[in-house]
Amino acid sequence: MKEKNLTKILVILAIVIICLISFFGIYVRQSGVMNNILPEYTLSTNLGGLRRIRLTVSDETNTTVYDKDGNITEEGYNEDGSLKEGYTENVQKTNSDEALTKENYDEVKRILDARLKNFAVEDYTIRKNDKTGEFVIDLPENSITDEIISYLVHPGKFTVRDHDTSEVLMDNSYVKNANAVYSTTDSGTIAFLNIEFNQEGKQKLEEISKTYVESKDEEGNDTTKQIVLELDDEELLETYFSSPLTDGILQLSIGSQTTDSQEFTSYIRQAARIAALINDKAMPVEYELQDNMYISSYTYEEVALIALLVIASIIAISVIVYWCIKYKMNGAIAGLISIGYIAVLLIIVRYANVMISKEGIVGIVILLVAQFLFLNEILKKLIEPNAKKEVVKECYKKFAWYYLPIAIIAVVLTFASWISAASIGMILFWGLLILAAYDWILIELLLEVRKNKNA
Amino acid sequence: MKKWLNKKVIYLVAIIVIICGMLTTFIWKTNFSLEYKEHADIHINFDKVYEINEVKALLKEVLGNRKMVLQKVETFNDSILVNVEAISDDEVTSLENAIREKYEIEEETTVVEVTQVGHVSFRDIIKPYIIPMALATILIAVYFAIRYSKLGIFKVVFVLFLRIIVAEGAYLGILEITRIPLGSYFVPVAIGLYVAIILFTTICNEKLLVNKSK
């Protein structure tokens, strides 16, 4: 009996220590400063910080200068900046007035949405101003946020041009699918941008690959016709073909062959980002990045969340007090088990790197309710006349059926690509696992059959 | 009989709430919170560390009691973002002058910048959750159909879908009728309600199954 009591005291002490660790942390002196060695909570954009960017419709103009013969030239100005005699210039807005329509802004929103999905951004908000066409986008703050932003503002205009005449031979509309691939040899790995063209594009590419080939005139001068592949007027590649391309696939190497994994990751990511741009239509309106700032979420006005936590805490305390009054010792121990349960859950959440969102907090509240329902049933059964310790097993079986659908929800949401949905899924998943294991051990060790004197 | 009547009353009230909610939406449109509806972002640069209570007092002085949301910008505690539904040019000037005076900011420094921010559509708010929630519901329906086949497959599946639709519809209806702004809490509460309905339906079915076995 004494040994049993000692075990109980030790287990209760262990729960108290776990609670202290989880709620207050473990502080050790590191470089003269006391640091909490528990990992920090990972917070989603609706709880932690976020990056906010503002994209405004570009009002830039492009000036084209023509010489006396009507050819485009880049040397059309005198030293004082005036136009050379006989030369003409054509000033064109990047975005024509006709392009600034609600339909085009909607199309830009669709393209931005598709790009963010392609870039595997799991949590974002796009705000569109229908009148001005401006976009305010909230993105998660992490190591690749800047890279994502730099690709997001690209119009994504893919063109294959004739090197000499600048005639556009192909554009985004010919692309069926683009993706990033790689090839490994003994000397390293190389990343490729793999562009697969649609039926029309396939025929066009075959035609181009037969025209743009190495050639020399009768005098032996090089007359090779070349094509230029461009993305938003930036040259990706200048090339010609040695044999006709009949499969409708074009592969461009991105970066160089490398054995360095970090370097390779950056090349393959670059290829994937370009592929995401090419895969969709080019933006019908060009944008400029106006603002780019870090915002610490809703720090000062989080009334709803605080209210939810306060209400949940009051209800939890009330339940524990009720247990203590009704079930005496068993009730107090069940209360401690419940607090310990949340403490263990919060430690696991930190170590498993589970992103906590507002949805995740709701998940914790659901688990607390599930824990209360379960313990309440056990406490009730333990004071019944003729109660035996076996009632715990019966309760387990009964509640396993009750909570199985929640486990289904947890598993499905865990694999959701949207981080807030995944957050509640992962918290429910870990919470149910802990509920099964932690409660089993502690109920067996701590709760006793105590006949109700009034029964 | 009494139980059945209670159920009927609950469904009837829920359906009335849903219909009233739909009518309210049709007449006045959904009342979104500041973070989702079109609003003005006031970016205030103090050029030095600010005190949040002083800022709140200044804003109250200029903007009155209108609803605003304050967000910390960057990590230096020297600038802040204030979301308000609208701000006039005169109010911008008053705010700028008040802040310049209070924080002794030089004329060359830009203190207040106002940007009109567009809305977030309701579809965009719920879209990421539709497929996972639908998949979870279908899997649960399949599980119910197997586990509670003795209670009648059609009945258990129908009741499951009915309860989810009525509960979520009533939740949205209450928000519409009471004009509580629909904000970032909307989806978490909707998911919480969904899980609660699933749990409640499961417990009811388990009890019915036990009774049937007896």
pLDDT of residue A301: 52
**Is residue B174 within 8 angstroms of chain A, CB to CB?**
no
Task: Tell if the CB–CB gap between B124 and A358 is shorter than 8 Å.
Answer: no
Interface of B with A in 47-66 (CB under 8 A): 52
Is B200 near chain A, with CB under 8 Å? no
Asked whether the beta carbons of residue A358 and residue B185 sit closer than 8 angstroms, the reply is yes
The per-residue pLDDT for A226 is: 85
Residue A302: its pLDDT value, please? 59
When mean pLDDT is compared across A19-28, A97-106, A346-355, B58-67, the lowest value belongs to B58-67
What residues of chain B lie within 8 A of the CB of A402, using their CB? 199, 202-203, 206
Confidence at A65, pLDDT banded by 50, 70, 90: confident
Q: Could you tell me if A305 lies within 8 Å of chain B, comparing CB atoms?
A: yes
Contact list, A127 vs chain B (CB under 8 Å):
117-120
Which of B71, B113, B133 to probe the A interface (max A CBs under 10 A)?
A: B71
Mean pLDDT of chain B: 88
- B144 vs A contacts (CB less than 8 Å): 405
Band (A1; pLDDT cuts 50, 70, 90): low
In chain A, the percentage of residues whose pLDDT exceeds 70 is 96
pLDDT at position A455: 41
| Residue in A125, A405, A428 closest to B143 by CB | A405
Q: Per-residue pLDDT for B147 more than 60?
A: yes
Judge whether residue A300 has pLDDT over 60.
Answer: no
Inter-chain CB proximity A300 and B183 less than 8 Å: no
| pLDDT of B51 higher than 50 | yes
CATH code of the domain made up of A50-295: 3.30.1360.200
For chain A, the three-class secondary structure string (H helix, E strand, C coil) is CHHHHHHHHHHHHHHHHHHHHHHHCCEEEECCEEEECCCCCEECCCCCCEEEEEEEECCCEEEEEECCCCCEECCCECCCCCECCCCEEEEEECCCHHHCCHHHHHHHHHHHHHHHHHCCCCCCEEEECCCCCCEEEEEECCCCHHHHHHHHCCCCCEEEEECCCCCEEEEHHHEEEEEEEEEEECCEEEEEEEEEECHHHHHHHHHHHHHCECCECCCCCECCCCEEEEECCEEEEEECECCCCCCCEEEEEEEEEECCHHHHHHHHHHHHHHHHHHHCCCCCCCEEEEEEEEECCCCCCCHHHHHHHHHHHHHHHHHHHHHHHHHHHHHHHHHHHHHHHHHHHHHHHHHCCCEECHHHHHHHHHHHHHHHHHHHHHHHHHCCCCCCCCHHHHHHHHHHHHHHHHHHHHHHHHCCCCHHHHHHHHHHHHHHHHHHHHHHHHHHHHCCCCCCCCC
Inspect the interface and report whether the beta carbons of B183 and A299 lie closer than 8 Å: no
CA distance A180 to A191: 7
Mutation target among A50, A288, A361, A409 for the B interface, most CBs of B within 10 A: A409
What local confidence, expressed as pLDDT, does residue A347 receive? 94
Mean pLDDT of B25-31: 89
Q: Where are the domains of chain A?
A: 2-44+301-446, 50-295
The distance of A399 to chain B (nearest Cα, Å) reads 9
Tell whether the model's pLDDT for residue B196 goes beyond 60: yes
Report the range of poorest mean pLDDT among A5-19, A330-344, B1-15, B18-32.
B1-15
Average pLDDT, chain A: 86
| pLDDT of A425 over the 90 cut | yes
Domains observed in chain B: 2-31+121-213 (no CATH), 39-117 (3.30.70.260)
CB contact, 8 Å: A299 with chain B? yes
Task: Taking residues B29-36, report their average pLDDT.
Answer: 87
Name the CATH architecture for the domain at A2-44+301-446: Up-down Bundle (1.20)
> Which residues in chain B touch residue A315, judged by CB atoms under 8 angstroms apart?
none
pLDDT at residue A427, rounded to an integer: 95
The predicted-structure confidence for A82-96, as pLDDT tens digits, reads as follows: 888 788 888 888 888
- Given an 8 Å threshold on Cβ–Cβ distance, is B143 in contact with A366? no
Q: Mind listing the pLDDT tens digit for each residue in A111-121?
A: 999 999 888 88
Give this complex's ipTM. 0.88
Give pLDDT, residue A258.
Answer: 85
Residue B48 pLDDT class (50, 70, 90 cuts): confident
Would you place residue A67 in the very low, low, confident or very high pLDDT band (cuts 50, 70, 90)?
A: confident
pTM of the model: 0.83
Give the chain A residue whose CA is nearest to the CA of B192: A362
pLDDT of A17 over the 90 cut: yes
Mean pLDDT over A104-132 rounds to 90
The pLDDT, as a whole number, for residue A81 is 79
